[in-house]
Every structure is written in C-alpha cells, then in structure tokens.
C-alpha cells in the first residue's frame, strides 16, 4: 500500500488550520509521532486527504496511554492551559488524533492563532 504524502500547509486559508470549533470548545487535529528524540510541536501540514494537522512528537512509547498523556502534557504546557481542559476525543490508538479543548471556542481560537503566528 503506498504511503500518503504530506506537504506543507499554506499559512493562510481555512484549509491550513488544524483547529475547528466544537460543541464545548475547540478541536485540534494532530499527527503524533511517539518514541521521538524529543517532545516538540512541529509545523502544520496538509495531509493527502486535504486536512490540516498539527504535527506533535513525544518521547513516550505508544503503550497504555503513555503517548496520549505526553501529548496532553506537552500541549497544555505550550498553550498554558490546564491539563484537565484537554482530552483525546478521537484516535486514542492511532497516530492521527483529535484533541478537544474545553472552554470558549472563539477565545481559544484567537489565542492559538496568535500562538501559531508566533512560532
């Protein structure tokens, strides 16, 4: 089976955003690399299916939820949010995940947009 190719997302345009407004806050689409050399958040990429994802790498192994917990810790620390506000809501056992952030979606979107612009 051929591997799907990724390309860098354009910094403008709605298709380049991994963020979307959800029912109780904001949703973030991720592509996670476990067992990486360091914990880090890489640039947004467009996937072959047209969706944008935020690339996240964590040193934790993908066993017993360790990588998911590491992703939540990393995002909470980077975005200065309480860990309890972030939940892996889809893809718990997959590299492609959706994380939901509880709170005011419009404010979160503005804050994370500013964070992304500063990266």
Query: In this predicted model, what pLDDT tens digit does every residue of 54-82 receive, in sequence order?
Result: 999 999 999 999 999 999 999 999 999 99
Split at pLDDT 50, 70, 90, the class of 50 is: confident
User: Is residue 32 predicted with pLDDT exceeding 50?
Assistant: yes
CA-based nearest residue to 86, from 106, 67, 100, 65: 100
The confidence score (pLDDT) of residue 15 equals 52
The confidence score (pLDDT) of residue 57 equals 97
Domains of the chain: 19-104 (3.30.1200.10)
């Amino acid at each position: 089976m051929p591997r799907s190719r990724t390309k860098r997302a354009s910094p403008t345009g709605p298709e380049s955003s991994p963020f979307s407004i959800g029912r109780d806050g904001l949703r973030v689409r991720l592509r996670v690399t476990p067992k990486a050399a360091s914990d880090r958040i890489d640039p947004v990429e467009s996937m072959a299916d047209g969706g944008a994802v935020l690339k996240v790498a964590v040193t934790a192994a993908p066993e017993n939820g360790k990588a998911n917990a590491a992703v939540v810790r990393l995002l909470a620390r980077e975005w200065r949010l309480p860990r309890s506000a972030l939940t892996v809501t889809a893809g718990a056992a997959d590299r492609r995940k959706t994380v939901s952030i509880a709170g005011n979606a419009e404010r979160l979107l503005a804050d994370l947009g500013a964070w992304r612009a500063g990266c």
